[in-house]
């Protein structure tokens, strides 16, 4: 029987409830800061979560929900103003990241129940740890530092994040990257995810996955998961 050697964690929605009261609020503040009249309410944001990655989510929103031609963005008073769309999205996302990190610094985004205990117990058991997320690396590191302590990013052998691989979840690229960096077989690892995109990504990489659902993902199909839970138990 193969021995478990490593735990691999997704970040957003898995380590912490970052989406509704974290990323969503930061996106809306970035939109207002840019003079845009966009507003992502909780219901709309839930629909946008079918797309992995913040920049990709903005692009999807522009394509799907704004009445402009490709390559344009609706700016109040300047409808159909041509813009360099990749640059515009990158700048908007950078502003959003600043607002998100402010929320983290102010303690507005706590860990989900049981996460701290699980990570500390894994460390005591000399279990190897890794992160596999579509979130920006600076956001993942900031979350770890503000919830687990300044040195906590060093606990994770690999922090695979953002655009480090060609395709984001549900493609398996991010998990293949982690397995390669850790020189481990998929049978030696256990993944913790919260969404169907994350589960599909991990499953395609041959990984066993535990799902912890939340409001945005409780309706999704997790039939390929080894275990589906509401959370990982009570916090310390």
Q: Provide the annotated active-site residues.
A: 10, 12
Residue 76 — φ and ψ, nearest 5°?
Answer: -50, 125
CA–CA separation, 87 and 8 (whole Å)? 32
- Within a 13 Å sphere around the CA of 179, how many CA atoms are in the beta-carbon half? 20
Closest C-alpha among 103, 94, 191 to residue 147: 103
158-160 sheet: strands from edge to edge: 158-160, 128-132, 6-9, 189-193, 208-212, 227-229
CA–CA separation, 214 and 80 (whole Å)? 38
Pairing outcome for strands 189-193 and 158-160: unpaired
């Amino acid at each position: 029987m193969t021995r478990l050697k490593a735990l691999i964690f997704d970040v957003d929605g898995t380590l912490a409830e970052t989406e509704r009261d974290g990323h969503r609020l930061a996106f809306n503040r970035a939109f207002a800061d840019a003079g845009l009249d966009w507003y992502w309410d909780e219901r709309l944001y839930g629909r946008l979560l079918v797309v992995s990655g913040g920049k990709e989510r903005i692009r999807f929103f522009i394509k799907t929900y704004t009445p402009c031609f490709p390559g344009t963005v609706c700016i109040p008073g300047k409808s159909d103003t041509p813009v360099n769309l990749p640059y515009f999205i990158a700048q908007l996302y950078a502003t959003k990241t600043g607002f998100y990190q402010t929320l983290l610094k102010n303690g507005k985004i706590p860990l989900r129940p049981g996460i701290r205990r699980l990570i500390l117990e894994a460390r005591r058991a000399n279990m190897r740890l890794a992160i596999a997320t579509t979130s920006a690396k600076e956001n993942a590191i900031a979350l770890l530092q503000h919830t687990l302590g300044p040195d906590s990013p060093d606990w994770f052998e690999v922090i695979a994040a953002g655009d480090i691989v060609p395709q984001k979840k549900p493609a398996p690229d991010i998990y293949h990257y982690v397995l390669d960096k850790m020189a481990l077989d998929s049978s030696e690892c256990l993944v913790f995810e919260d969404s169907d995109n994350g589960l599909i990504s991990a499953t395609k990489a041959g990984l066993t996955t535990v799902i912890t659902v939340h409001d945005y993902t409780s309706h999704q199909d997790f039939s390929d998961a080894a275990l589906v839970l509401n959370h990982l138990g009570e916090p310390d």
